[in-house]
Structure 1
Amino acid sequence: MDPSERPFLPPRPVPPGEPDELGEAGEAAAAPTVIVLASGRGERFRASGGTVHKLDAPLDGRAVRERTLAAVRASGLPWHVEDAGHPGMGDSIAAAVRATIDAAGWLVLPADLPLVEPATLRRVARALCAPSPSPADPDAPAGLAAHAVQPVHDGRRGHPVAFSAACRDDLLRLAGEFGAAPVLRRLRAAGRVTELAIDDVGIVTDIDTLADLAAAEALLLSRVAPPAAG
């Protein structure tokens, strides 16, 4: 079995004689929560000619939102949908963190990424649970646990971006249109961001316009198309 297809199992030290496996209760407690951001107004999509909200737009017969949620459910990770009206993405993230305040960490996933793979969500979660990198800043506290993981496809940074539980207070203070960018920028400057190379174009295939929707449908159909006859 491909390692990325296994159920989520966060890495941890295993005492001698103890099975290298977590029970369902321990696994659920240790896994970070996927927060699906579905509060945006989708104005660019309508401006491009869309007649419905972009998350309700059909993508090969299934709404964009439903395709994203299907991947999240299939990942086996705990999840929360933030779909109340908020002024900006930062406000949405803060509200979602507040609603899942005891989570072991968070994967921030905009709902307009319908091609992201369940295995990608699990890989990002495992990377978040791995030992955090040492800070580049020599003046940073030695035991600093705040860190993030950002997946990268073909040189492009994408989502979900994962944040450790130690980022909670910073995430709760977010507001405005720039999402978690201020927190990520500070962590990156301190050498606390792991960039994870992933062969999944879904992490950068967001739906903002009708052209984006058409491109996503072409990618989706290419995944399921039968191989050409030799």
Structure 2
Amino acid sequence: MKSQPVVIVLAAGRGSRFRGAGHKLEQGLGEQSVLGQTISHAIESGLPVVVVTTAPLASEAARWVARRDVVVLPEVGSGSPAALGMGYSIAAGVTARPHAPGWLVLPGDMPMVSPATLSTVAGLLGQHPVVFAQYRGRRGHPVGFAAELFSDLVQLSGDEGARRVVARYPSYGLEVDDPGVLVDVDTEADLDALRSGHTVPGALRSAGLP
């Protein structure tokens, strides 16, 4: 069977803007947690999935994927390299699957990205070095990277994530009918909106869009 790009679910951040009890990724959303729904959609895409997280969330991640597919980083603030931010998490995920034909970066707090969007982005990596999903012209996630960018990705660190890589190489914006590519759970209000069935980002709703 031909190998496929790997979805790297990023779940190692502190979620400091969320003021509720517990980590935002552990919060209930329907019959799953926020992280559980994000991972489930990634699995439904038919692509391999790796979750990059820290020890407190490792058990939650392992409810949805095998332990071998959970990359556990030291917690932020422990004086470890993980304190270098999202870039380090991306590098760790890519390093865990170095022979993949590409990687899709998906934040763990984006539970509304559809499986179809993930698979479509993955399918375009044979034509473009960088592919990102966008909704009504607004750039979102996932962001896909072709295998040729391995050396750049494994050297990432800092809170910029992969922005410099995206800026350095030609990128393709895939327009999708999926507002979930813009929806993340940063605050309690974000979570309440999702629980109420509001899947279009607030900025678009305020502009009169459905």
Q: Which entry has the higher C-alpha Rg, 1 or 2?
A: 1
Equivalent of 1:154 in 136, 153, 164: 136
C-alpha distance in 1, partners of 2:47/2:23?
27
C-alpha distance in 1, partners of 2:42/2:165?
24
Residue type matched to 2:14 in 1? R
Equivalent of 1:108 in 100, 105, 108: 105
Alignment length (residue pairs): 173
C-alpha distance in 1, partners of 2:87/2:12?
11
- Report the counterpart of residue 60 of structure 2 in structure 1: none
- Please say if residues 115 and 220 of structure 1, whose CA atoms lie closer than 8 Å, have aligned partners that are also in contact: no
- Report the counterpart of residue 53 of structure 1 in structure 2: 23
Q: TM-score, normalised by structure 1?
A: 0.72
Listed one character per residue, the Cα deviations across residues 2-57 of structure 1 (whole Å, up to 9, x for unaligned) are xxxxxxxxxxxxxxxxxxxxxxx12xx1x1110010100111112xxx11101001
CA deviation after TM superposition for structure 1 residue 61, in Å: 4.0
Classify 1:219/1:155 alpha carbon distance in 2 versus 1 (closer, same or farther; 3 Å).
farther
Q: TM-score, normalised by structure 2?
A: 0.79
Residue type matched to 1:203 in 2? V
Matched, 1:205 2:183: yes
CA deviation after TM superposition for structure 1 residue 60, in Å: 2.7
Give the unaligned 5+ runs of structure 1.
1-24, 133-146, 223-230
Instruction: State the superposition RMSD in angstroms.
Output: 1.5
Q: Which has the higher strand share?
A: 2
Any runs of at least 4 consecutive aligned residues in structure 1 with deviations exceeding 6 A, and if so which? none
Equivalent of 1:125 in 99, 122, 127: 122
C-alpha distance in 2, partners of 1:80/1:126?
18
- Report the counterpart of residue 173 of structure 2 in structure 1: 195
- Report the counterpart of residue 7 of structure 2 in structure 1: 34
CA deviation after TM superposition for structure 1 residue 220, in Å: 6.0
Give the unaligned 5+ runs of structure 2.
54-72, 76-81, 201-210
| Identical counterparts, % of pairs | 46
Residue type matched to 1:35 in 2? I
CA deviation after TM superposition for structure 1 residue 127, in Å: 1.5
Matches within 5 A, 1:1-230: 25-26=1-2, 29=3, 31-46=4-19, 50-83=20-53, 84=73, 85=75, 86-87=82-83, 88-129=85-126, 131-132=127-128, 147-187=129-169, 192-219=170-197
